[in-house]
Amino acid sequence: MNSKGENMDINDFEYANPNAAALMQSLRAFGYDISTAIADLIDNSITAKAKNIEITFDWNNGEPWISIIDDGYGMDEEELFEAMKTGGKNPLDKREADDLGRFGLGLKTASFSQCKRLTVASKRVDEGVYIRCWDLDVVNEQNAWILLKKASDTAKEVIDNYFKDNKNGTIVFWEKIDRIIPGSRINDEEYQDAFLDYASMVKNHIAVVFSAYMYGYNKISFKLNGREIDMWDPFMSELSTKMPQEILYVNGSEVKIRPYILPHQSKLSPEEFAFYAGIHGWNAQQGFYIYRNNRLIVSGDWLVPGMEKLEQYRLARIRIDIGNETDTEWNIDVRKSTAVPPISIIKEIKRIAIASQKESSKIYRHRGKKLARKGQKEQFFVWHQNIRHGKIGYSVNREHPIIKKLLDSTLKKEIKELLDLIEETVPVPMIISDYSEKSDSMLEPYEGKNKNDFDDMILNMYEMYIGWGYTKKQAIENIANTEPFIYAPEKIGLFCEKEGIDIE
């Protein structure tokens, strides 16, 4: 027997067709939530060149249904049959450049993850309406691949109403939505409210995942329950600072990367600041956004192991655009919700990430420096140089606010003894030797330390100054001129934002 299966003897093999009921149940476990499931169906509508896509959530007196309707070019009967088969397309087949699909499973796996009855009706121009339906209860009872040709009365009414006025398009109709609303809940207001909350989640998801399709020459109208879905542009493209675009290559295919540095909160209205924070908040939105054919796959992720989401980086959002020809290299999954950068470009990804983080930090650092300039001229450092018996020595500055507070405490005697001990044992010869021989290896102030520790220090100093009778503004200005905050002025700006202190 050769690799093509030619000249096989019937005794050398047997057919191993999958168990229909078992496989259909397995297809329900691909890890979709309702938002990613509906987004997967919208991908098909966009590939079909739809200009209008409408999602409907109908409570239907406790027997809820959801529909996704588009005015794309539709399918004939054979195409519909192939689309409803599990694995109707080979993921290894070459796809059109604008095809958002890959595995030939999305329609089924996305739908079965949420419902047990999937009906699809489609029509091409000048052709009839064709209907096919999977009912998992029927498949389970018969343990057979029974694809129905009729819709339920509820689905049929929606299908007839749409194609009465439209010459082409496709309708995906979900019933028996057991994963979010188990069983009949006719008078259950709690479940009805939950159903509507799911609709809101889907709207928010669509607003960001498909934002690139909501404007421009090939604009698509997205509606949910009859209302237009407004675009959510994570990059605030018209207000942000655009860093230069870079083009990398993966197996000869372009990867376009463009960092955006968003404006500081002080430059935005309260409404703008709240809107562009997104549903997860400003910190969560920082990082890379990977778009595959203009469709968002990954949002707000630094992608590089070990890179943290810190407040001073929250203004950095970076767009990566890839095509569908490198799906394997990016490890695109069935749900199209994860992607992993190829090893060949990970160093460049990290370099761009670090550069963007620095630009974001500069904004906070600049605002902190403004505070220092506006404050008193004297800066409080921890160490002072002094002369004793004609020789140079070093002493801890007793006027540094933190030291001063400790010396005013009940531990004044012990603190003074500790300071004397530190001052008399400063290893000056060792420091001079190390600096002359290994200056490049000397640590900068707080290098390698967790600067989140500054937060409590700032709060303690702030409360201390307020206790001494300083105004809020005076307290902040003095802190900005005090070591160690001279080295991390962005932390002062972040503290003021948290506490709602006007620093302008």
pLDDT tens, residue order, the chain (504 aa) = 455 556 677 777 777 777 777 887 777 766 789 999 999 999 999 999 999 999 999 999 889 999 999 999 999 999 999 999 876 554 434 445 444 443 346 788 899 999 999 999 999 999 999 999 999 999 999 998 899 999 999 999 999 999 999 999 999 999 999 888 776 666 678 888 889 999 999 999 999 999 989 887 779 999 999 999 998 999 998 889 999 899 999 999 999 999 999 988 778 888 888 888 887 888 889 999 999 989 999 999 999 988 888 888 889 999 999 988 888 899 887 766 788 899 999 999 999 999 999 888 877 665 555 554 544 445 677 887 777 777 778 888 888 888 888 888 888 889 889 988 988 888 888 887 776 677 667 776 666 666 566 778 888 888 888 888 888 877 887 887 777 777 666 677 777 777 777 655
Largest alpha-carbon pair distance within the chain?
106
What's the pLDDT score for residue 104?
45
Domains, the chain, ranges and CATH?
20-228 (3.30.565.10), 241-374 (3.30.230), 383-440+450-499 (no CATH)
- Whether omega for the bond prior to residue 484 falls within 30 degrees of 0, making it cis, is yes
The CA–CA distances, whole Å, from 489 to 336, 354, 361, 442 equal 40, 19, 10, 22
The CA–CA distances, whole Å, from 79 to 43, 115, 145, 170, 471 equal 17, 23, 18, 12, 73
What's the pLDDT score for residue 466?
85
* SS3 state of residue 371: helix
Token couple for 474? 């005076």
CA gap 215, 38 in Å, rounded: 21
What's the pLDDT score for residue 23?
80
- The secondary structure of residue 4, as a DSSP letter, is T
Instruction: Give me the numbers of helices (H) and strands (E) for the chain, helices first please.
Output: 16, 15
The CA–CA distances, whole Å, from 240 to 211, 246, 264, 316, 494 equal 17, 17, 10, 10, 20
The CA–CA distances, whole Å, from 301 to 185, 220, 282, 287 equal 39, 27, 13, 5
CA gap 412, 410 in Å, rounded: 5
Per-residue pLDDT tens over the stretch 119-141 = 999 999 999 999 999 999 999 99
What's the pLDDT score for residue 446?
65
CA gap 96, 453 in Å, rounded: 52
CA gap 501, 504 in Å, rounded: 9
What's the pLDDT score for residue 103?
34
Exposed, middle or buried, 465 (CB in 10 Å: 0-12/13-18/19+)? buried
The pTM for the full model equals 0.69
CA gap 172, 53 in Å, rounded: 11
